[in-house]
Amino acid sequence: MEPFSSHRGLVAILDRANVDTDAIIPKQFLKSIKRTGFGESLFFDWRYLPDGEPDPQFVLNFPRYQGASILVARNNFGCGSSREHAVWAVMQYGFRTIIAPRQEIGGAQVPGFADIFRNNSVKNGLLTIELEAPEVDKIFEMVERNSGLEATVDLDEQRLVLHLPEELAFHFEIDPVVKKHLRHGLDDIALSLEHEASITAFEKQHNPQMYRA
């Protein structure tokens, strides 16, 4: 996995809450046994007309968003199925970062990203940034008003900067474990296998088949 330190790129917006993984990558593309080739199918049902041509009404098809690598969306992005294909599709399309807001719903703070999607993102080097809802509203407004707006994401500094004539910066929180993982592009399996002796010792006292007659 490629390490993530900082990234500058064009920002695109997707003004929808609860973007589910069926919308991100529909079922027919999950039949592949490969890890690549999903970028063209990202948001397939929204992105293409029945004849296969790009739908000019869909926001990511707008000329101003071509080449975008930072996506700003609404709350609960990536809900639904555990398909890692969703993260592969987002990254293979060209996104390195997604931003979504925390939100208060029914008196509780609701995270910007669904658990499994966020988890899958970490494994693939996709940075998910969660901000407060008014901050995300502000970004939406700035992107809409400023065609070609770019931003820089600095993971070390935990900062997102919009490159407006007067720069607008946002601080974001990130789990230190996730940060380290992304920063160094770590291979989880290799890391866990360093504890092989502990796993073996655990298996001696814990028999997961103990119930078997």
Partner 1 sequence: MAKTLFKKVWDAHVVKTLPDGTVLLYIDRHLVHEVTSPQAFEGLRLSKRTVRRPELTFSTLDHNVPTDDPFNIKDPISKAQVEALIKNCRENGVTLFDYATGHQGIVHAIGPEMGITLPGLTVVCGDSHTSTHGAFGGLGFGIGTSEVEHVLATQTLRQTPTKTFKVEFTGRLQPGCTSKDMVMKLIGLIGTAGGTGYVMEYCGEAVRALSMEARMTICNMSIEGGARAGMIAPDDTTFEYIAKGDRPYAPRGEALDKAIAYWRTLPTEDGAEFDRVITINTAEIAPQVTWGTSPGMVTDVTGVVPDPDKVPGYSRRDVEQALEYMDLKPGMKMTDIRPNTIFIGSCTNARIEDLRKVAKLVKGRRKADSVRVMVVPSSQQVRRQAEAEGLDKIMTDFGAEWRHAGCSMCLGMNPDQLKPGERSASTSNRNFEGRQGKGGRTHLVSPEMAAAAAVEGHFVDIRNWDGLKALNA
Residues 89-128 that bind partner 1 (CB under 8 A): 105-106, 108, 110-111, 113-116, 119-120, 123-124
Residue with tokens 């890692």: 84
**Calpha distance 121→127 (Å, rounded):** 7
Using the rule CB under 8 A, is 210 a contact of partner 1?
yes
Among 42, 72, 87, 151, binds partner 1 (CB under 8 A): 87
Determine the Cα–Cα distance for residues 147 and 19; give it in Å rounded to an integer: 24
Under the binding rule (CB under 8 A), the answer on residue 5 touching partner 1 is no
Q: Could you give the angle at which helices 176-184 and 115-124 cross, rounded to 10 degrees?
A: 30
Terminal Cα distance for the chain, rounded: 43
Q: Per rule CB under 8 A, is residue 192 in the interface with partner 1?
A: yes
The single residue among 11, 69, 72, 84 that binds partner 1, judged by CB under 8 A, is 84
Q: Answer whether 17's CB lies under 8 Å from 75's CB.
A: yes
173 binds partner 1 (CB under 8 A): no
Measured from the CB atom, the residue of 134 and 165 that comes closer to partner 1 is: 134
- Cα–Cα dist 55/102, whole Å: 30
Closest C-alpha among 155, 157, 84, 152 to residue 118: 84
**Contact residues for partner 1, defined by CB under 8 A:** 15-18, 20, 22-23, 26-28, 30-35, 45, 75-76, 79-85, 87, 105-106, 108, 110-111, 113-116, 119-120, 123-124, 175-177, 180, 188-189, 191-193, 195-196, 198-199, 202-203, 206, 208-213
